[in-house]
Amino acid sequence: MFLSILLSAALNTAPLTDSAVIRFHQSGFGPIIGAQVSPVGHQPLRLAAGPVLGCFWLQPLNRHWALQIEFQGRITPGYRLFTTFADTLVRPVGIGISRGEINVRSVAYLELPLLLRRQGGKNSRYAWLAGVRPSINFLNRHQTDNLWSISGYNIVASTEPTEANVRQGFYRYDLGLVLGWSFALSDRLSVDVRYNQGFLDLTADNFFKSDELTLNSGLQCTLRAKL
């Protein structure tokens, strides 16, 4: 709904101009705002929407080709990754057993798409996009709870940390492929629609006890404004 309102406002405030005066393919930079829909589960298929914010730099190479470099951040909610763990502590006065759990519910991605644009000409409204997208992620809402159960005589509950770490099961780095299409609404405003395909399974199957692929993939729609 947010993106629909944003697109409607952009179309009302930036009416289409004659193609002969479109100069959006000239070099420049500016902000990016939009949304992405990503699969966060496969059995059954579950989709989650999240915001996209960033900036871009565009540099024409010749009449038909241009280089577009972006830096963007995304938040993808809706993950349901869960695992439990247990550690056994042997002490002089008895045996202590620590039990805990790790949940991953939302992931923040920082991405650097490196794209080539193929356009029909300097006055063309349309352009095709293709490139690669390295990324790094942060688990902004992961939770680790250490719940200690005690066995043995005279054992006192401890807050000693367990060796289990969420990064053993959710990998930080990824590389993906980008394919998309861009349409210039005016000489300063355009809309991009693209598909992002992640190459790497971000989760370790033996950590979360699941063989599902967790990919940084999805359909993205953004507005770009050249300053």
Using one digit for the tens of pLDDT, what is the confidence trace for 25-49? Answer: 788 999 999 999 999 988 888 999 9
- Lowest-confidence segment of 4-8, 95-99, 187-191, 211-215 by average pLDDT: 4-8
Token pair, residue 7, equals 């697109």
Look-up of token digits 């692929």:
213
Virtual torsion, Cα 138, 139, 145, 146, nearest 10 deg? -30
**What is the DSSP secondary-structure string of 173-224?**
EEEEEEEEEEEESSSSEEEEEEEEEE-S--B-HHHHT--------EEEEEEE
Per-residue pLDDT band for 144 (boundaries 50, 70, 90) equals low
- Give pLDDT tens digits for 147-201: 555 554 455 555 444 556 788 889 999 999 999 999 999 888 999 999 999 999 9
Q: Are 147 and 101 in contact (CB under 8 A)?
A: yes
- Give pLDDT tens digits for 34-89: 999 999 988 888 999 999 999 999 999 988 899 999 999 999 998 988 887 777 76
For residue 168, give every residue at least 6 positions away whose Cβ sits within 8 Å of its Cβ, in sequence order, or none: 204, 207
Judge whether residue 9 has pLDDT over 60.
no
| Residue 127 backbone dihedrals phi, psi, to 5 degrees | -155, 145
- Give pLDDT tens digits for 110-140: 999 999 999 876 677 889 999 999 999 998 6
Handedness of CA 155, 161, 166, 171 (dihedral sign): negative
Q: Are 172 and 196 in contact (CB under 8 A)?
A: no
Token pair, residue 42, equals 């496969």
If phi > 0 it is left, if psi is from -120 to 50 it is alpha, else beta; for residue 94 that is left
Query: What per-residue confidence (pLDDT) applies to 186?
Result: 87
Per-residue pLDDT band for 23 (boundaries 50, 70, 90) equals low
Query: What per-residue confidence (pLDDT) applies to 34?
Result: 97
SS3 content of the chain, % helix, strand, coil (to 5): 10, 60, 30
Look-up of token digits 């971000």:
202
